[in-house]
């Protein structure tokens, strides 16, 4: 599950290839990729894109792209990168992608994977989740952030209003409209679950699972973190100021997508096989 926004293929060109296809080859390739990306689809078939490049006469671009993928440039690592953990190359075709919901399901070439956490398909909004992740996207220090409180829809408006006021006081020189529009964007994001993390995981934790525990059941993944609001507090111009500011975590909102939402997205007739495999269903 990751962002799929700016994808470009660049390839070293030989002199005769430049003569054949012109000097705007990178622009043409990028234009083709953008047209392909804008198609409304539940999957991203990179193999069909690369084959199309070859058919269009850009075989060198296709060959370089396949070579990059085969060398494991795009891969998944389980465990700490500083240890002897194995890289699993991502397969060329992405079986499910939703730009609206900001989610992608990747498929890796594998022989043996770590045992997965089961995914929570149903259930009411829990009081909290326990987040597993890497702060600032660093791959060498895993953080367990316990008891991150979830925000009920009934209290989201009042929590947001309090955050706007707190942000205005913390950044008196900042444009008020920017602050208000940033928090207002929370309500334009449908299908999201909102929560507060600690400072250890608020930045760089996108993609981390939010786990729920109970006395009688095994741990389950309830949600996946996606982004934080307000994002501007992580800009370079604010970082030093944030070190010296007592900016409460209750003014920083993290959003995630629930596994029940993912289950719903994958419940289309042509995606049931994928849903059943991911959620370990027999039918």
For 26-54, the pLDDT digits (tens) are 666 666 666 666 664 566 676 666 666 66
Q: Is residue 157 one of the residues assigned to a domain?
A: yes
Least confident of 197-206, 219-228, 260-269: 197-206
Position 274 in a domain: no
Q: What is the mean pLDDT of the chain?
A: 76
The answer to whether residues 142 and 249 belong to one domain is yes
Looking at the fold, whether 44 and 138 belong to one and the same domain comes out as: no
Q: Is position 231 within any domain?
A: yes
pLDDT above 70 as % of the chain: 64
Q: What pLDDT digit, counting tens, does each position of 52-94 carry? A: 666 656 666 666 666 665 565 567 776 655 555 667 777 777 8
- DSSP letters for 238-275: HHHHHHH----GGG-EEEEEEHHHHHHHTTSGGGHHHH
Say if 112 falls within a structural domain: no
SS3 content of the chain, % helix, strand, coil (to 5): 40, 20, 40
Can you say whether the dihedral through the CA atoms of 169, 173, 175, 178 is positive or negative? negative
Nearest to 200 by CA among 249, 246, 154, 240: 249
**Residues 87 and 176 placed together within one structural domain of the fold:** no
| pLDDT tens-digit map of 119-164 | 999 878 999 999 988 766 555 677 889 999 999 999 999 999 999 9
Look up residue 29 and give its two tokens. Answer: 């390739």
In this predicted structure, the answer to whether residue 182 has a pLDDT above a threshold of 50 is yes
Q: What are the CA-CA distances from residue 199 to residues 58, 149, 156, 165, 248 (Å)? A: 47, 13, 20, 20, 9
For residue 267, what pLDDT is reported? 95
Report the pLDDT value the prediction gives residue 240, as an integer from 0 to 100.
62
Identify the pLDDT of residue 282.
74
Neighbours of 82 (CB within 10 A): 9
- Structurally, the chain folds into a number of domains equal to 2
Confidence of residue 224 (pLDDT cuts 50, 70, 90): very high
Domain that holds residue 44: 15-105
Indicate if 66 and 145 belong to the same structural domain: no
Q: Are strands 193-195 and 96-98 parallel, antiparallel or unpaired?
A: unpaired
Q: Does 236 lie in the same domain as 178?
A: yes
- Report pLDDT for 211: 95
């Amino acid at each position: 599950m990751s962002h799929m926004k700016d994808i470009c293929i660049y390839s070293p060109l030989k002199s005769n290839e430049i003569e054949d296809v012109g000097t705007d080859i990178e622009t043409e390739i990028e234009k083709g990729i953008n047209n392909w990306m804008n198609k409304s689809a539940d999957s991203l078939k990179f193999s069909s894109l690369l084959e199309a490049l070859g058919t269009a006469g850009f075989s060198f671009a296709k060959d370089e792209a396949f070579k990059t993928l085969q060398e494991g440039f795009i891969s998944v690592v389980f465990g700490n990168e500083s240890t002897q953990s194995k890289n699993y190359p991502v397969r060329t075709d992405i079986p499910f992608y939703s730009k609206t919901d900001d989610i992608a399901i990747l498929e890796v070439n594998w022989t043996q994977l770590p045992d997965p956490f089961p995914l929570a398909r149903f259930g009411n909004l829990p009081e909290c989740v326990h987040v597993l992740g890497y702060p600032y996207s660093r791959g060498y220090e895993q953080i367990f952030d316990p008891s991150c409180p979830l925000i009920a829809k009934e209290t989201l408006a009042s929590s947001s209003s309090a955050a706007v006021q707190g942000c205005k006081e913390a950044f008196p020189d900042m444009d008020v409209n920017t602050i208000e529009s940033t928090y207002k964007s929370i309500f334009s994001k449908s299908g999201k679950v909102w929560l507060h993390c600690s400072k250890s995981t608020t930045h760089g934790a996108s993609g981390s699972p939010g786990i729920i525990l109970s006395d009688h059941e095994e741990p389950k993944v309830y949600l996946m973190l996606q982004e934080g609001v307000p994002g501007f507090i992580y800009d370079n111009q604010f970082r030093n100021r944030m070190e010296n500011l007592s900016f409460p975590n209750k003014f920083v909102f993290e959003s995630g997508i629930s596994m029940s939402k993912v289950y719903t997205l994958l419940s289309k007739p042509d995606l049931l096989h994928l849903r059943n495999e991911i959620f370990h269903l027999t039918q």
